[in-house]
Amino acid sequence: MTLAILFVPLNAVLLSVSLGQRAESPDPRMRISSVDAVAYLDSVLWLQLLIAVIAVLAATGESGGRIGASFLAVPTRLPVLGAKVIVVGLVSFGIGVVGATAGQLLPHLLLSGTGVAYAADPADVFRGAISSGAYMGLIAAISLAIAVVAGNLIVALLVPLALFTIVPSVIASFGGELGSRISGYFPTIAGRTALSAAENPGGLDSTTGFLVMLAWAVLAVVGAGLRYRFADA
């Protein structure tokens, strides 16, 4: 958990140090005169893999006989699922907010006096922090729900990681223009519109992209609810 919180700030330190060193390079082509705060949110897209693993472990930690204790305490299964989604989602939201805030504020200190201008409007920093938190929370909810549906630790780890990274790239690479547009509707590609300046291949803006990612989370949680409702734990 500590690593998850420090992941984005540590990447911000490394990027700032690299930019500061390049600013002193005798080769003008190596220098970067300015950097925006959004550049420091790219590492959030790597943090999502760690968040997915944490969420899967949270879902599978009570699998089998051990979850029976939870069902004895709360005989109705859906509140158990709801509690897991809320707790893991809020923890991931907090990790995203804290990490993104620190990751965007540290460069003010690290780039001072290096010749690299750092543009970080307070409103943009706040928006980036909240967006990062929401993104992490939805990643956690989707991963946890998939783990509940899968019911197997290995499958529960492989499916979210493939959904978040491999599958969109494969569809975009081999599906032509249509495949590229479809890839834009996958959760991570759609959700990152709020964190990155990269153009969404499906033509989604930040608001629509977030709503698409939210829809993925809702569908995944509904699927997990059906799994809890109609199948053995």
Which DSSP string corresponds to 138-162? HHHHHHHHHHHHH-SHHHHHHHHHI
- What 3-state DSSP class applies to 196? coil
Quote the CA–CA distance of 160 and 165 in Å, as a whole number.
Answer: 8
pLDDT at 62: 60
Q: Interhelix angle for 122-150 vs 153-161, to 10°?
A: 140
Tell me the C-alpha to C-alpha distance, in Å, between residue 9 and each of 12, 97, 195.
5, 11, 16
Question: Residue 232's pLDDT is what?
Answer: 54
pLDDT at 12: 85
Residue 233 DSSP class: -
Q: What is the pTM of this model?
A: 0.86
Which pLDDT belongs to residue 40? 83
- How many residues are listed for the chain in this entry? 233
Regions of the chain where pLDDT drops below 50: 64-73, 233
pLDDT, tens digit (0-9, with 9 covering 90-100), for 43-82: 888 889 999 999 999 888 765 444 444 444 455 667 788 8
